Structure 1
C-alpha cells in the first residue's frame, strides 16, 4: 500500500504520486515516485510491471505538486523518483529515473 494522490491534466492524462517504502533500504527509508500515464490504472500497472506488486492508490491525500508534475512531464520515461520528503531528506534532491531505483544494490565481497 502507498500514500499518494493524482492530478488529472487538461489533456485527460494523469500524474500519479506515491510514497513507497524503498525496495532496497530495508524498510527504513521511503521514496516518492511519480508516474505519467493515460489513467490511474495504467500508472499503477507501470509500477507493478517493474516489480512493485503491492502498489495501490486509495484516496487523494498527497497529490503531486506543480513542481512534481513539471518534473515528470519533462522526463522522457514519465517515471521518476527521489527520497520522500522528511527530516533526513534534502529538499533540493534531484529526481532520478526509475531504472536507478530498480537496480540491485551493490553487494560487498
Structure 2
C-alpha cells in the first residue's frame, strides 16, 4: 500500500509526497531501486490536483490515505525549486542520490 502525506504551504498550495512501487518500464540510467519503491513529490494547487497530475502520467492506482509520511523540509525545498513541480528518487532515501524529473522514471 502506498505511504505518503502532504503539507499545505502558506500560499494555499500543497506538496504531496508518496512512496510508490516503481513502474515496471522506464527508469533513469544508472539508478536502481533496490526494494522497488520510489518517493514521488508533487507540488499542486490542492491534494486532488496533485493526484490527478500523477494519474495523468499513467499512475492510475495512486491514492493518498492519511498523512503518515508527509514531505520533509528538504523534499519541499526540492519540489518547489523544480520547474515541473514533479520529482522522484529511490526509496529508502540514499544521501548520494539526487532528485530526478518524473520523465526519467516514466520514459
After TM superposition, the score normalised by the length of structure 1 is: 0.86
Distance 1:24 1:83 in 2: 14
Structure 2 residue 62 is matched with structure 1 residue 58: no
Question: Partner of 2:24 in structure 1?
Answer: 24
Distance 2:84 2:46 in 1: 16
Question: Partner of 1:106 in structure 2?
Answer: none
- Once the two structures are TM-superposed, the CA of residue 91 in structure 1 deviates from its matched residue by 2.1
* Unmatched runs of 5 consecutive residues or more in structure 2: 26-34
Question: Partner of 1:36 in structure 2?
Answer: 43
Distance 1:37 1:56 in 2: 15
Question: Partner of 2:88 in structure 1?
Answer: 81
Distance 1:29 1:21 in 2: 6
Question: Partner of 2:79 in structure 1?
Answer: 72
Question: Partner of 2:11 in structure 1?
Answer: 11
- How big is the alpha-carbon RMSD for the aligned residues of Structure 1 and Structure 2? 1.2
After TM superposition, the score normalised by the length of structure 2 is: 0.88
* Unmatched runs of 5 consecutive residues or more in structure 1: 104-109
- Once the two structures are TM-superposed, the CA of residue 2 in structure 1 deviates from its matched residue by 1.5
Question: Partner of 2:94 in structure 1?
Answer: 90
| Structure number with larger C-alpha Rg | 1
Higher relative contact order (CA 8 A, sep 6+): 2
| Count of matched residue pairs | 98
